[in-house]
Amino acid sequence: MHAGFVRRSILLLVAALLPVAGGALAPYPSAAAGRPVPPPAASGALELHPPTAAVRAAVSAAAGAGQAARSATPLSAGRAVPIPPAAHADPPGLSRSRPPTPGRPTPGVVAVLLKAGSAAGQASAARAIASSDSGQDADSLALELQALEALFYSANGAGWGQNGGWLQGSSACTWYGVSCTDGHVVLLDLSFNNLSGTIPLQLGDLADLQTLDLAGNQLRGTIPAELGNLAALQGLVLRGNQLSGAIPPELGNLARLQMLDLGANQLSGAIPAQVGELADLQTLNLDANHLSGTIPSQLGNLADLQTLDLNTNQLSGAIPSQLGNLANLQDFEMRGNQLSGAIPAQLGRLVHLQSLFLDTNQLSGAIPSQLGNLVNLQTLDLEGNQLSGAIPPQIGGMTNLQYLYLDTNQLSGAIPSQLGNLTGLDFVYLYGNRLSGAIPPQLGNLTGVEFLELNGNCLSGAIPPQLGSLASLLTLNLDGNQLSGTIPPQLGGLAILQNLEARGNQLSGAIPPELGSLAKLQDLDLNGNRLSGAIPPQLGNLTNLGSLELGANQLSGAIPPQLGNLANLQTLDLGGNQLSGAIPAELGNLAGLQTLDLDANQLSGAIPPQLGNLTGLASLDVSGNQLLGPIPLSLESLDDLTAFDFDSTVCEPADAALESWFSKIAKHSPAALCAAGGS
């Protein structure tokens, strides 16, 4: 038994049993005063105070319990009343030992107590100790109070968001965040309560504790190894603090633990292999730390595990094949590490799995076909690795799949038509690979898909008109492939489409006027194809459009004045075509326009003065045309313009204000002064 506790036990019993000299002792601070009692002076000096009513009740209860034990009468009053916290408060950081072995009171304590006070006092003290069960229970309660006091002082209890009742009264069971059973602390939940400082090792003395939740605070320092003594613990949640250092291997002693959540801290070092001994564990969250080294194969022993989250660490090496033994696993997350090697085929045995996140690692090799056995899988995220080979057609058997992320790998071959079986898909990300062949028309079966991103591959052939059946589609990205043929007019039926991107292909023919029906469209990018014919005036109906990019095609005819209706447009790129005629004055209505690129066409006439209304314009390029005449003085109002390109056939009027405005533009073409009489 720790010396500090022994001294306080002696003093409390002596104070309760001996008469008090009038006025000789300082008054004991009252818990009823409504404020925490400060810790004793650092010098360690002890003062005797008259016992409070609660202390007298505690001693009386202990004495009564001892007498009851001697007469073989069962203790009906339950557990002993704990000593009030202020009576045994120690300075922060003071170490406490665990209770002595049950049934073996410390001989030194017994001897000292029996020597103290009168004969009646000796008899009362002896009776209090005679009941080993009651004595040990009182010791345990005292240690619990001391552990909680240590937490209060080491974690800045005065600054907590809620600290009601702390260090007041004779029982911790009424303190904020504390729950008890039979007088013993079984739950300590101070999550999101503005705790700061460190976790005291004395918390390891809470022998009956089942749940410890200190998440969402500003605790720092290391996790005490003494927490491994909490044999009854079922939930340990320290997420979202600033804890550092290694994970104590002693946590492997917590045989009843079901949840271990240490995520979102600054923990480092290896994952202890001893964690694999937590046979009852259901949730293991170690994400968002600085953990390194390999993943222990012993984690494959956690037969009851349902959630394994090791995201965003610095873990390296291979994924242990033993993790395929986790038959009850539902959530498997290892994204954002440095894992390498192949994806174990054994993961295909995890038939209850709902989420598999292995993205942003250095995994290589083929995607195992065995993953097709994961019929309950809802999310498969393998993006950002170095995976190669074909997409297994067996993935088409994942009938519950909602999110498929295979992007940014080195996958090759055709897109399996079997993906069309996954009618529950919401997201399909296959971009940034080396996929080839045609887009399977079966993808038109994915009527619930919201994002279909196939950009950055080597896909060829025509865009299937069946994609016009994707009624839930928000984004269709086909950029950077080798697609040919015409744009299917059926795409005009995608009523809620927001982004249509097909730049950098070999598409030909006219832009379908049906695209003017895409009322929700925000981005239309057909740059860099072989499109011909006129720009459909129906595109002027797309009033939600923020970007219209039709550059680097073979479009001809006039710029439709209806484009001036696109009130939300920020980017208009029509450069690099064969457009002719005048620049429509209606473009001056595009009040939010930031970029206007009309270069490399066959436009003629003058720069319309209405462009001076585009006060947010940052870049204006009308070079490579057949424009004539002076720069409009109205452009002086374009204070945000940083780039202005035009041909030498455009001249600068002799105007001091215009000249000053020109000098502020970072990049502009050289301008010759207009001839006399020009304006």
Q: What is the pLDDT of residues 223-270, one digit of tens each?
A: 999 999 999 999 999 999 999 999 999 999 999 999 999 999 999 999
Pick from 315, 322, 317, 286: nearest CA to 301: 322
pLDDT digits (tens, 9 = 90+) for 574-595: 999 999 999 999 999 999 999 9
Cβ atoms of residues 434 and 454 within 8 Å: no
Neighbours of 175 (CB within 10 A): 24
pLDDT for 447:
95
Cβ atoms of residues 361 and 339 within 8 Å: yes
Contacts of 38 (CB under 8 A, 6+ apart): 89
The CA angle 385-390-396, to the nearest 5 degrees, is: 100
Cβ atoms of residues 149 and 89 within 8 Å: yes
User: Can you give the C-alpha Rg of the chain in angstroms?
Assistant: 38
Pick from 158, 271, 275, 161: nearest CA to 217: 161
The larger pLDDT score, comparing residue 678 to residue 427, is at 427
pLDDT digits (tens, 9 = 90+) for 590-631: 999 999 999 999 999 999 999 999 999 999 999 999 999 999
Q: What is the mean pLDDT of residues 151-172?
A: 95
Token readout for 247 is: 């994970």
Say which amino acid occupies 580: S
Task: Out of 224-233, 462-471, 553-562, 662-671, pick the least confident.
Answer: 662-671
pLDDT for 13:
37
Q: What is the mean pLDDT of residues 8-36?
A: 33
Rank 19-23, 183-187, 651-655 by mean pLDDT and report only the highest.
183-187
pLDDT digits (tens, 9 = 90+) for 499-552: 999 999 999 999 999 999 999 999 999 999 999 999 999 999 999 999 999 999
**If one looks up domain 592-679 in CATH, what number appears?**
3.80.10.10
pLDDT for 48:
29
CA distance 229 to 208: 10
Task: Please name the residue that has the structure tokens 């105070």.
Answer: 49
Task: Out of 137-141, 280-284, 418-422, 446-450, pick the least confident.
Answer: 137-141
pLDDT band at 169, cuts 50/70/90? Answer: confident
Break the chain into its structural domains and give their ranges. Answer: 3-159, 592-679
pLDDT for 28:
25
Percent of the chain whose pLDDT exceeds 90: 74
Q: What is the mean pLDDT of residues 461-480?
A: 98
Q: What is the mean pLDDT of residues 560-582?
A: 98
* pLDDT exceeds cutoff 90 at 558: yes
Cβ atoms of residues 328 and 306 within 8 Å: yes
pLDDT band at 40, cuts 50/70/90? Answer: very low
* pLDDT exceeds cutoff 70 at 14: no
The larger pLDDT score, comparing residue 544 to residue 118, is at 544
Query: How many helices and strands in the chain, by DSSP H and E?
Result: 6, 44
pLDDT for 666:
84
- Residue 4, CB half-sphere, CA atoms under 13 Å: how many? 19
User: CA 241 → CA 420, 457, 476, distances in Å?
Assistant: 44, 42, 41
pLDDT digits (tens, 9 = 90+) for 55-105: 333 333 433 333 333 233 232 233 222 323 332 233 333 232 323 323 323
The larger pLDDT score, comparing residue 198 to residue 109, is at 198
pLDDT band at 136, cuts 50/70/90? Answer: low
Burial status of residue 389 (CB atoms within 10 A of its CB: 0-12, 13-18, 19 or more): middle
Q: What is the mean pLDDT of residues 46-63?
A: 34
Cβ atoms of residues 387 and 411 within 8 Å: yes
The CA angle 207-226-295, to the nearest 5 degrees, is: 115
pLDDT for 677:
56
pLDDT band at 662, cuts 50/70/90? Answer: confident
Neighbours of 318 (CB within 10 A): 15
pLDDT for 47:
32
pLDDT for 675:
77
Cβ atoms of residues 84 and 148 within 8 Å: no
The larger pLDDT score, comparing residue 10 to residue 679, is at 679
* pLDDT exceeds cutoff 90 at 43: no
pLDDT band at 652, cuts 50/70/90? Answer: confident
User: CA 643 → CA 224, 582, 667, distances in Å?
Assistant: 61, 22, 5
User: CA 130 → CA 56, 85, 125, 519, distances in Å?
Assistant: 18, 24, 9, 86
Contacts of 271 (CB under 8 A, 6+ apart): 247, 286, 291, 293, 295, 296, 299, 310, 315
Q: What is the mean pLDDT of residues 420-427?
A: 97
